[in-house]
Structure 1
């Protein structure tokens, strides 16, 4: 049987499911267990790091080439480092050390995935230079990962692993048993009926803050999950902005829905009520986890946040799919959201539109459906006249500001709508139809 990484096509699905009360307790137990294991790795490695630094500095203060005798505190530190190293040497050691991790309701693969995720976090830190693994605190949303295994099967299908589809309404999961799911993907139904070899890889069980349960599966197969879309011989550039969500190079505009701003007043009122109930519970000395009025209001606030998230996700998914289906080439400007959010006057509006998520959707859908998506450096795309190529802010021309939504080119006198002109420039830059102005000046 092929490994997941060696399969040609990969696909991810997300389904909502409805666990029983007993299954909810098992999910919470596995979440707590994986959080304990992750925090154990973080805490023990931090202890080892500081202990080694202390012992190294202590040795440096001694005479060179002479190992000074350790005092009682230093001996205890050295013993702690040795014990931690032994515990963290193999993934199974931590499970053997704590008996409560060996109860039958806890999935051993969930703990193995936790250790693997911790090691991946360190690898990412070494690559990009930030993002050291930190402690995971208790949250109202839970999640853990497990894997589907095929112990005796010669070929992997959707209905013969440890995680499998039973029918169009039920899925069997490790430790949880049979759970009822909402809806059924036509893609899954076709693969079950036609008995197409499909391997289930990582399975993620998640509970959101508003008490909804979701199941995410990674699928792999040598048979493509979707067919390439027919070519339309159409190419388009898009300019992302805040007045309109985007402007296309053909002149079409998509309005900015502003989901967060529309719900902001209602959300602010709900959060004030939550803050008042939190303050009252603390004054009365009650635990917030058992304060019923506080938990009811927390759930109401979480539902409002989740509604905004789902509205935004639905809008971005529909728009990105329409662009990829209708055009063979989509060109957008490369936006660095982290830098844009430093502008405190626009940070709320920028967070509300979800540009980064939208670009990611365009990227993976273009690859999935056999289309092309490019991002280009946005330099000069706003200031350049697409008709004659002159650039505002150079050769004595006044540079355009954010207030200039329409302008006329001083060279060719062409009237421009700012965002439309930028979208045309983005498309031309993606097609490599115009050069860098500095290159032009050197050539002249």
Structure 2
């Protein structure tokens, strides 16, 4: 299996300048290839003739000599990323590829490990055309490095993500199971096989830091464009946003790791945050809570440690069905937090009832015991 390890880089001033230039070259190639592909399509559409073959990154080097200074594999990977974006568009799973902005897009580039060009020695990581760069290796791994992605945050902090080939972990038989209902009032309501329910509070990281973010944003808006004071204010605002993001990721990583450590089978509901964010009253809270990232972390950690993750069908009525008798009580508005079953008279907490229904999916959907494909890990 492939697993990523992300580390903080500490480049010298010269190395940092080269990394920034390489990131810029990868973004330039991506935009240039996209521009030419659109032009080729429009020309073929107007003339009715066959389409020309799209150019390669190497074909731009005579026209733009500065590209020769960058890592050629970084430019090649930019083309692969564009090809993947078009593949998702034609498959109907994503929108048409857009141009990358220096200000808004993620600043990064990817390079491959060819004949040991990426390796770790004496507390440093070697990157092609950069050399050995100091980094903080807080986790040791065993395996072969396949590629490296260098990224830079808005505050000018560099990171490297190493993609490592490792052996698959053996599947762990089911011993403890848990059903997880996600929400806004509580981030998660979890019921295990001992019918013990735990409610995880929603930390609301963005809401907690909103006042400081507003002050920093107002201070930035008052600075003269292009001035050094404006750059200082922008950096301060970026640091505050990074702090919110880091707190959110720290919470999600610790919770997902604890769940995977304590349970062999995890059942979680499937939500569609993008569609739910169409409600303007809840959009900010849904964007802040991080359900998608939480489920993504559960997925890869379950694979890494041999656990089973079951994602319930989006149409599974975990909230509507009575966990005591199985009667479907119908749709309930968000403000209905408690209800009584009309068939058996059982009194339910909305979220606890949903977690119990999700837990029962594990009893009949464990691999090897009739697990439907759509509910598999």
Give the structure-1-normalised TM-score.
0.76
3-state DSSP class of the match of 2:266?
strand
C-alpha contact (below 8 Å) 2:172/2:307 kept by paired residues: no
3-state DSSP class of the match of 1:135?
coil
Shift of 1:133: 2.1
C-alpha contact (below 8 Å) 1:203/1:215 kept by paired residues: yes
Shift of 1:411: 2.3
Equivalent residue number for residue 337 of structure 1: 273
Q: 1:90 to 1:305 in 2, by over 3 A?
A: closer
Which of 235, 241, 264 aligns to 2:177? It is 235
In the alignment, is residue 216 of structure 1 matched against residue 153 of structure 2? no
Equivalent residue number for residue 187 of structure 2: 245
Which of 272, 286, 303 aligns to 2:239? It is 303
Equivalent residue number for residue 400 of structure 1: 332
In the alignment, is residue 30 of structure 1 matched against residue 22 of structure 2? yes
Shift of 1:52: 2.6
Equivalent residue number for residue 420 of structure 1: 352
Larger helix percent: 1
Q: 1:240 to 1:180 in 2, by over 3 A?
A: same
CA distance in 2 between counterparts of 1:302 and 1:51 reads 42
CA distance in 2 between counterparts of 1:19 and 1:129 reads 38
Give the structure-2-normalised TM-score.
0.89
3-state DSSP class of the match of 1:358?
helix
CA distance in 1 between counterparts of 2:344 and 2:358 reads 20
In the alignment, is residue 52 of structure 1 matched against residue 7 of structure 2? no
Shift of 1:258: 0.5
Structure-to-structure mapping, 1:96-107, within 5 angstroms: 96-103=62-69, 106-107=70-71
Where structure 2 has 5 or more consecutive residues not aligned to the other structure, the ranges are 366-377
C-alpha contact (below 8 Å) 1:232/1:326 kept by paired residues: no
CA distance in 2 between counterparts of 1:372 and 1:108 reads 40
Which of 121, 138, 141 aligns to 1:166? It is 121
3-state DSSP class of the match of 1:202?
strand
CA distance in 1 between counterparts of 2:170 and 2:245 reads 29
Shift of 1:208: 0.3
CA distance in 1 between counterparts of 2:93 and 2:233 reads 40
Q: Which runs of 4+ in 1 moved over 4 A?
A: 227-232
C-alpha contact (below 8 Å) 1:15/1:182 kept by paired residues: yes
Shift of 1:132: 1.9
CA distance in 2 between counterparts of 1:390 and 1:232 reads 28
CA distance in 1 between counterparts of 2:60 and 2:252 reads 43
Which of 148, 163, 168 aligns to 2:113? It is 148
Paired residues, number: 359
Equivalent residue number for residue 269 of structure 1: 215
